[in-house]
Amino acid sequence: MLGRRIRHLGRYRDVAAVLVRHGFGLVVEELGLSQLLSLPLRLFRERDDSDPKSVGERIRKVIEELGPTFIKIGQIASTRPDVIPAPIISELEQLQDRVPPFSYPEVQTIIQEELGAEIEQIFLEFEESPLAAASIGQVHRAVLLNGQEVAVKVQRPQISGVIQTDLEILLDLANLAEHRLKWAEQYKVTEMAAEFARSLRAELDYTIEGRNAEKIARQFRDDPRIHIPQIYWEHTTKKVLTMEYIQGLKLSRLDEHEDAAYDRGMIAETLAQTVLKQILLEGFFHADPHPGNIMVLPDKAIALIDFGMVGRLSPDMKEHFASLVIALMRQRTEDMIKAIFQMGLVPDEVNLALLRKDVDELRDKYLGLPLSRIHLGEAVNELFGVAFRHRILIPADLTLLAKALLTLEGIVAKLDPELSILDIARPFGMKLLRERYRPRNVLSKAWTDMNEYGEILLELPKQVKDLLRIIQQSRTRLEISVRELDTFLRKLDRMSNQISFSIVLLSFSIVMTGLIIASSLGNNPVIFWKIPAMEAGFVVAALMFLWLLFSIFRSGRF
């Protein structure tokens, strides 16, 4: 790790300087970067308290100044309301890729290196000016030799190396933070940073985006209302993606057309059905359905583009999410909490009473509202916000789902304010429930569970044998963690005192009984060293009894 810091020393300095410039000098100092980078101490002592910017705004400024990698990470982080506070999320959502396009000669070089031929040998036409430019790549319109119009996405030169360097630094900083800052350890920032890094590395491989497009295309192969661009694999590599060129109107420009040529209600309903089908039935969905990635075609069909960010839901996750939606619709606190526990990683120290109170407050917000006025994406997002406050970690794909629903509801509300996402979701939810309780699926799940339990039982003797061997070799240590340990110990102490009291009282009674019987059987009292045994025993037992009572009552734990 030290070698990595030395290798990227210049970039570490850039990151530290930007953090200090925007008021995060204390963070740099706590991470130990001030000593490592030999930065002047005055940088950490000077602070402009008159700066009116919020923490979220300053974080956004830092990210924008650090460049493409951090902008993409910030955009990915904006989908995690379960681990990032809402004010910071709202700032991260404003991050935009504002980068100039790279030159046409560089485009030619990359295409030749990746596809193994000159542009003229592959394309009949190739427009030098890009249709769009972003931090990772840019898109050009072109025509293949067979006359097919295509869009060619070309990765920015050297961007992969830049991103890999920045990701190494990001993961190193997260590791430092987790070792030095308590809040960073609580929120497992190293795992979070690793997750963001995986998402960004996936975007660097255009073949992954191509496979995502084909998988979603298969979902709608029998639906003429939805069109997914075709991928031309013979002209696609990790750095070049060639796909069908879509002739249509971006949803973001629909406001420019106020005529009746576009049925906004139909577009809204089709789009809602499209996204909900991907989420609830297929478990594989476009995670960034913003208006710039949705196009309306001349035949009124809807086209989806840009599949760099997708979400995946396992059958269990689909089931848990459906349970959450049903609990929201029925406004049942216990069911909502159960769904959260099934979906998330719940810390041992979670305060169930406080969690229930927060969920009750959220339920009361929607209590009595008709379903048409309940915004599903907003409700799920707020529920994940409750999870954040209690440090319950929700899987990334579920937060992507919440973000996609929120984006969808914003689009639908603008197109058709009367349309309810919950009304559209109802038939999908019912279908999911029917699938869950179909006899064949129930039997299949039961069979799977039986196999798992059978494997556990078969492995049990070996595991017990291994455990006994470890214990015999004195290589194990028993650790018991009990919540409310102090209360537990007090109760244990009280019980032991009560038992001791009972034993002493019983002993005292036995001694006294024996002395009385002995005295009764004999005509003369029992004498030891000229001391009457019965009287002496009584005095000793009484003193012991009084001493024990005094000790117990003084401890206050009787």
Which residues form the catalytic set?
Answer: 288
Backbone angles phi, psi at 526, to 5 degrees: -70, 125
The two beta strands, 527-528 and 302-304, are unpaired
Q: What whole-number distance in Å separates Cα of residue 162 and Cα of residue 534? A: 95
Beta bridge partners of 527: 532
- The angle at the Cα of 152, spanning 227 to 219, to the nearest 5 degrees, equals 25
Q: What whole-number distance in Å separates Cα of residue 141 and Cα of residue 244? A: 10
**Cβ contact 240:110 at 8 Å:** yes
Say which DSSP state 393 is in. B
Nearest Cα neighbor of 338 from 356, 318, 351 is 356
Q: What whole-number distance in Å separates Cα of residue 542 and Cα of residue 558? A: 19
Tokens of 413: 């509300």
Q: 475-501 b/e with 16+ CB inside 10 Å = b?
A: eeeeeeeeeeeeeeeeeeeeeebeeeb
Amino acid letter for position 313: L
**Cβ contact 247:297 at 8 Å:** yes
Tokens of 34: 């001030």
H helix and E strand count, the chain: 24, 13
Q: Largest alpha-carbon pair distance within the chain?
A: 132
Residue 224: other Cβ atoms inside 10 A:
10
Residue 85: other Cβ atoms inside 10 A:
13
Q: What whole-number distance in Å separates Cα of residue 362 and Cα of residue 333? A: 9
Residue for token pair 């030619």: 108
Tabulate helix, strand, coil % of the chain (nearest 5): 65, 10, 30
For 428, half-sphere exposure in the C-beta direction (CA atoms, 13 angstrom radius) is: 23
Say which DSSP state 286 is in. E
**Cβ contact 12:5 at 8 Å:** yes
Beta bridge partners of 149: 143
Tokens of 152: 């060619």
Tokens of 407: 């984006």
Beta bridge partners of 151: 141, 243
Say which DSSP state 394 is in. P
**Cβ contact 144:232 at 8 Å:** yes
Beta bridge partners of 150: 142, 244
Tell me the residue length of the chain.
Answer: 558
**Cβ contact 377:405 at 8 Å:** yes
Q: What whole-number distance in Å separates Cα of residue 333 and Cα of residue 360? A: 6
